[in-house]
Amino acid sequence: MRSDEVKKGHQRAPHRSLFRATGLVDEDFDKPFIGVANSFIEIIPGHFFLDRVSKVIKEEIKANGCVPFEFNTIGVDDGIAMGHDGMLFSLPSREIIANSIETVMNAHKLDAMIAIPNCDKIVPGMIMGALRVDVPTIFVSGGPMKKGYTKDGTPIDLATAFEAVGKYEAGEMTDDELHDIECNACPSGGSCSGMFTANSMNTLMEAMGIALPGNGTIVALTKEREALYRKAARRICEIAKNKAATKKFKLTNILNENAVRNAFAVDMAMGGSSNTVLHMLAIAKEAHVDFNLEDINHISKKVSHIAKISPSLSTVHMEDINSAGGVNAVMKEMTKRGDDVLKDNLTITGETVYEKIKDAHIKDTSIIHTIDNPYSKVGGLAILYGNLAEQGAVIKTAGIIGARALTGTAVCFNGQPEAIEGIIGGKVKAGNVVVIRYEGPKGGPGMQEMLAPTSLIMGMGLGDKVALITDGRFSGATRGASIGHVSPEAAEGGMIGLLKDGDEIHIDVDKYILSVNLSDEEIARRKSEFVPIKKELKSSWLKQYRALVTNASSGAILKTDLF
């Protein structure tokens, strides 16, 4: 066992003495040591109950002949951090989480790990750290929250609450109506109930084979969810106690190129968050998988978009997907377009992907459509290119409202606060393309989510009348013609930084185009005069992050080889 390095032999008597201080006895030193990486934190609705989850998991690990060691990561709630400078710390937190996993697991030579994430950057951060450690790992998330209901019985969620602010600003909602939504949009613990970033990543872990079936859809704080925790704990012990299995199920044997491609395919079939592109690119690099942004469009052409979930369809939430057959049913239906839609691959259960989904079927075709009745014959994400995005930009096509091809005039804002002020102040009109720049990984720094401006645009009735482009990113709750991750970003001299009010911007989603109608001579002139804005920072961590981070086209990973 890997842990023998810290617990076996006479030279490790001091080490064993320290372990005994934590409660271990003689017989424990012959058992596998299992890291229980918990993201319990009281401020996040998807995480405040994870201390109870870890108790269940540790109890099951002990009952199955292994020794659990719990440790914690940090977490940021993107909804609470939204719309102010707290969001600058959200994406950087992914790196802290990855580093903490790598640090604890390798410093103490633990044999295997069970990770308990749920929301936002915490899921990819844990995956990235686990890939560096490369021991058998099962991910079991806290689970999605239930959908909420207004007094009149309308299903709602967090996206409803953000869009309600726009309606209130436009005078279309009363104080009482806003308060009703505020009190009922998030009715329980769990990751927010739509196909936002958290639930997108939680379902993609099923697609990658690193989590058990139901991980993305079984509702939090239920007996069914507890059964999933116990099953995951039993499985990690089964692997850790078997030397051959420990070698077979190390994480990189499962999370390989096939798994990455399956994740993107399932993401497109279910219309997941555009943030998954950012995170899956970073995960692919940690897994040493050669996957590039342009590969996404090739996958999209093979995948039918067969499930619409809030925010794309406000009446459908994760609990509905679970009732309709879950992620396995989506995957099984996807394969009906051909054997190359999903790659067969080993999963943590011991089955291959095709073995895992062989008995799955859709239970409600109004929730999960068949491939004969898709929302779209292509996937729910697209990568756009052109002189405005030479290294690519991302759009969640599943969330588009209005035209998929348009030409509009630029209204430029240097940052999200300026944009919010301008949108509320009436600066944005029908036919405009809202440009929010200096919000990329380096320019933000930290690549803020743009849920506040996109929600204002929707709430003010402009969702099908304007488009928005940014070098920042979007919340999974965003809908509309919203294009993010524009690379190169403004802070590194990208074209988005050279735009001026009134420039004509052309978007064609089906042709994968994002461009500005300027001559090469005019672009060259603007570049020669351009000096990027560099924001003043007080935070030492954000200064470090800005110095090391790459742009969104590479997953906003940090540079590690500096010399």
pLDDT tens track for 7-58: 999 999 999 999 999 999 999 999 999 999 999 999 999 999 999 999 999 9
- Does pLDDT of 453 surpass 80? yes
Are 532 and 468 in contact by the 8 Å Cβ rule? The answer is no
Q: Who's near 307: CB < 8 A, 6+ residues apart? A: 269, 270, 271, 316, 321, 330, 367, 368, 369, 375
Tell me what the mean pLDDT of segment 248-261 comes to. 98
Q: Which residues are annotated binding-site positions for Mg(2+)? A: 78, 120-121, 449
Which residues have a Cβ under 8 Å from the Cβ of 421 and sit 6 or more positions away? Answer: none
Size of the chain in residues: 563
In which residue are the tokens 């079939």 written? 269
- Given a contact cutoff of 8 angstroms between Cβ atoms, the answer to whether 220 and 190 are in contact is yes
The whole-number average pLDDT for the span 120-135 is 97
Q: Where residue 452 falls among pLDDT bands split at 50, 70, 90?
A: confident
pLDDT for the residue numbered 464: 86
pLDDT at 165: 87
Q: Is 314 a catalytic residue?
A: no
Q: What pLDDT score does 219 carry?
A: 98
Predicted local distance difference test score (pLDDT) of residue 116: 98
Distance CA 399, CA 306 (A): 13
Query: Are the CB atoms for 560 and 286 separated by under 8 Å?
Result: no
Evaluate if residue 351 carries a pLDDT over 70: yes
Mean pLDDT (whole number) for 433-446: 96
- DSSP assignment string, 516-553: E---HHHHHHHHHH----------HHHHHHHHHB--GG
Closest of 228, 245, 240, 320 to residue 69, by C-alpha = 240
Cα separation, 553 vs 487, whole angstroms:
6
pLDDT band at residue 326, thresholds of 50, 70 and 90? very high
Kindly tell me if the per-residue pLDDT of 478 is higher than 70. no
CA 414 and chain centroid, separation: 25
Q: Which of 90, 141, 475, 554 is the catalytic position?
A: 475
Confidence band (pLDDT; 50, 70, 90) for 476? Answer: low
The kind and range of the H/E element at 19 are helix 13-21
Q: Which SS3 state, helix, strand or coil, does residue 70 take?
A: strand
Look at residue 370 and give its three-state secondary structure. coil
Distance (Å, whole) CA 109 – CA 106: 5
**pLDDT tens column, 151-205:** 999 999 998 998 898 889 889 999 999 999 999 999 999 999 999 899 999 999 9
The annotation places the binding site at 78, 120-121, 449
Residue 119 tokens, joined: 């929301």
